[in-house]
Amino acid sequence: MTTADPPPPAKRRGRRPAGQDTRAALVEAAHQVFSESGYEGATVRAIAARAGVDAAMVNHWFGGKEGLFAQVVLRLPVDPGDLVATLLDGDLDGLGERVVRRFLGVWDATAGGTFPALVRSLASHDQATIGLRDFLIKHILGRVVARIRADQPQLRAGLCASQLIGIGMVRYVAKFDPLATADVETVVAAVGPTLQRYLTGEIGAADC
């Protein structure tokens, strides 16, 4: 356990010595607790306790639980423009593998906390659903599919999204072994061809 700290150093009232970023500590703690418990399950008191500060700080810095949630979840770990440019830089045959590798790179880097937070926030916030759809379909996969001029772009983007989200669910949320602990290249080798087919291959009802 990394969360079992020695007894906290006895809080005093009033402003604390400089150099302690309470705001950042709260965001980090909220990130963890929201990931573990979802929006409704997470309590302001628990978040504040993990950050080592008083619950009133949530109101002071974020105006309440809702504001803190917004700060935590809507902080996406990549810039869409860069991402699309990087993905499209290379030969078309390697596109599927690049998408998978990038997907894992982004979410592995968050130590497996942000993806569950996103998924679990779908429970209570439709806004998160719309955010995920816009981000993944419209800003990333939609652009990639559009660039390669495939037929049925919406369906292809949706299929890619389904495989990526599924990998995220199995690797970060449900943690099925061996996929949860497999190294990136193993997953890329297995899933890359799937994405490649969804992007540029034959996906059934092409005509009609």
Partner DNA sequence: GCATTAATTCATTCAACGTTGAATTTCTTG
Partner DNA sequence: CAAGAAATTCAACGTTGAATGAATTAATGC
- By CB under 7 A, name the binding residues for DNA: 11-18, 20, 22-23, 42-46, 52-61, 64-66
Give the rounded distance of the alpha carbon of 128 from its chain centre.
11
- Binding residue for a second copy (CB under 8 A) from 69, 161, 172, 199? 161
Contact 18, 56 (CB under 8 A): no
Nearer of residues 57 and 100 to DNA, judged by Cβ: 57
Burial of 116 (0-12, 13-18, 19+ CB in 10 A): buried
Enclosing H/E stretch for 30: helix 22-41
CB atoms within 10 A of CB 172: 23
- Binding residue for a second copy (CB under 8 A) from 29, 137, 140, 145? 137
DSSP state of 52: T
Query: Min. distance of Cβ 25 from DNA in angstroms?
Result: 9
Query: Min. distance of Cβ 158 from DNA in angstroms?
Result: 35
Binder of residue 190, out of DNA, a second copy, none (CB less than 5 to 8 A by kind): a second copy
Q: Whole-angstrom Cα distance, residue 79 to residue 89?
A: 16
Nearer of residues 86 and 129 to a second copy, judged by Cβ: 129
In the range 31-70, which residues lie near a second copy by CB under 8 A?
37-41
Binding of residue 1 to a second copy (CB under 8 A) = no
